[in-house]
Amino acid sequence: MSIWDTLFRRTTGYDPHGEPGFRFGRYTDAYKTKANYLAWDEALAAFEDGQFIESCTAFMRYLLDEKEDNVQFQVEEEKLYFEVYQGSKRVTGFADTEQFRATAKIAKLDGQQVELLRRLTSLNYEMKYSRFAIDGENCLCIVFDSPINDASPHKLYHALKELALGADKQDDLLLEEFSDYLSPTEITHLEQQKPAHKALKLSFLDTHIQAVIDDLGTNQINPEENPGAVAYLLLDLVYRLDYLLIPEGHTMEALERMHRMYFSREGEQPVTYKNVRLLSELQTLQRRAPESFDEELYGGKSTFGITLPANHDRLTSLIDSELPNMDWYQDNGYQTVAAAIPGYIAGYALFNYAVPPPDKLLLELFYRVVEDDYFQRLGYNQQFLDQNGRPARRAIRAAIANVTDRFEDEYPRLRPAVSQLSFDNVVDFGRSYLRMMRELDLTKP
């Protein structure tokens, strides 16, 4: 059951039974339960006492996310066997009295090519704990091993995270680039999306990129005089595509590369130059073959996240630094830019940070509102825009109230000032919504 099933059934009487329970955005392992933290403490204590199998077993309980069903393990005759899932990849391994070993198969080698081997050698130098290898079945793998008495929980976490994230990322990239020499392996656990949903996501990507191109093609926005306006439009789009489409492989790497490039401080380039590169990258995505994009759309279980844990103050600072810029653009007739700024703030926060759960749900609700048509076409019943394209007051307030109710024990001071929201149009709603979020009190008792 999705969070929105619970939310709307309780407050509005609306029963979204049968609605898709899609998960949007990047998985994060920052939201651990008390049981997870207890398992971590047990793993540390057992390691200090020299009980290494017990330590590794408790460590697996620490990684376990019951909602994801992402970790499986068992102990047989003083030997721990485990499976850890990360996106498209499955990490398998064991721990015994001598060593801890983990392996993730990337692809089947159908031949050897010098450029591929050079790439793997280069990638090996970038990894701290693991390495590429070829197993006895002629499969390209990433491997980590360690003497059991050196396999502390801290080391295991960082090593398995490097291995799992690397395997999940590199399989798609290497398979696309070296398709003549590699073929997929161990992908039976993946959940393939419906062709209609893939077509919808491809259409979303194409139309949204084209809409920004069209906006920039008008004489209203001069890229030389208003590079900040162009950047808001492009970065809002980058984060929106990442969060709502959840692509893997080439597209995910391209979106990450755009973000890194824009905020890189090495050999600092002017914003106008960065904007040109961003637009070029987006146009390249738009021109890719549809079947290549289709292959990047699938569902899987995850164990490790790449977003950094952040408290509400981090989101508050982001809102304070960016939201006031809306006023000038709106006052001077740049409506699309003004609308992009709240989207940029929400997207930047969700792309970079594991914000507190209430913040995450409320930021996703913002996307539910501004991309209402997309969610309707995905199969969601609840409408957040009325027939005139204005934010739906009753549905939005009900959703916010239910987020508050859900976290009333953990965040008893969470009382969003919904009376301050503007429902006149999407632009004014975005400003008032983020102002409301800025004032949230997420202190715990």
Band the pLDDT of 190: cuts 50, 70, 90. Answer: low
The model's pLDDT over 56-111, given as tens digits with 9 standing for 90+, comes to 999 999 999 998 899 999 999 889 999 999 988 899 999 999 999 999 999 888 87
| Confidence (pLDDT) at 306 | 87
CA distance 130 to 166: 9
Q: Is residue 223 part of a domain?
A: yes
Report which secondary-structure segment, H or E, holds 142. strand 139-147
Pairing outcome for strands 139-147 and 131-134: antiparallel
> Structural domain tally of the chain?
3
Together in a domain, 111 and 13: no
The model's pLDDT over 232-250, given as tens digits with 9 standing for 90+, comes to 999 999 999 999 999 888 8
Together in a domain, 293 and 315: no
Together in a domain, 62 and 156: yes
Query: Which residue range(s) make up the domain with 89?
Result: 34-183
CATH of the domain at 115: 3.30.1460.10
The model's pLDDT over 192-233, given as tens digits with 9 standing for 90+, comes to 788 999 999 999 999 999 999 998 887 678 888 889 999 999
Q: Is residue 340 part of a domain?
A: no
Together in a domain, 64 and 173: yes
| Confidence (pLDDT) at 405 | 93
Together in a domain, 76 and 96: yes
Q: Is residue 46 part of a domain?
A: yes
Q: Which of 34, 7, 84, 32 lies closest to 401, judged by CA?
A: 7
Give the distance from CA 87 to its chain's centroid.
Answer: 11
Together in a domain, 444 and 379: yes
Residue 181 has pLDDT above 90, yes or no: no
The model's pLDDT over 297-326, given as tens digits with 9 standing for 90+, comes to 887 889 999 888 999 999 999 999 999 999
Final residue of a structural domain among 306, 325, 343: 306
Band the pLDDT of 11: cuts 50, 70, 90. Answer: very low
Q: Is residue 258 part of a domain?
A: yes
Q: Is residue 345 part of a domain?
A: no
Together in a domain, 162 and 56: yes
208's CB contacts (< 8 A; 6+ apart) are: 237, 240, 241
Together in a domain, 263 and 275: yes
Band the pLDDT of 188: cuts 50, 70, 90. Answer: low
Together in a domain, 221 and 112: no
Final residue of a structural domain among 119, 153, 183: 183
Q: Is residue 324 part of a domain?
A: yes
Whole-prediction pTM: 0.89
Mean pLDDT, residues 269-274 taken together: 91
CA distance 228 to 404: 35
The model's pLDDT over 387-431, given as tens digits with 9 standing for 90+, comes to 999 999 999 999 999 899 999 999 999 999 999 999 999 999 999
Final residue of a structural domain among 130, 163, 183: 183
Q: What is the DSSP letter of 391?
A: B
CA distance 358 to 443: 12
Together in a domain, 438 and 356: yes
Band the pLDDT of 55: cuts 50, 70, 90. Answer: very high
Together in a domain, 389 and 255: no
Together in a domain, 375 and 252: no
**Residue ranges in 99-149 assigned as alpha helix (H):** 114-126
Q: Is residue 163 part of a domain?
A: yes
The model's pLDDT over 336-363, given as tens digits with 9 standing for 90+, comes to 999 999 999 999 999 999 999 999 999 9
| Confidence (pLDDT) at 227 | 93
Q: Is residue 287 part of a domain?
A: yes
3-state class (DSSP) for residue 442: coil
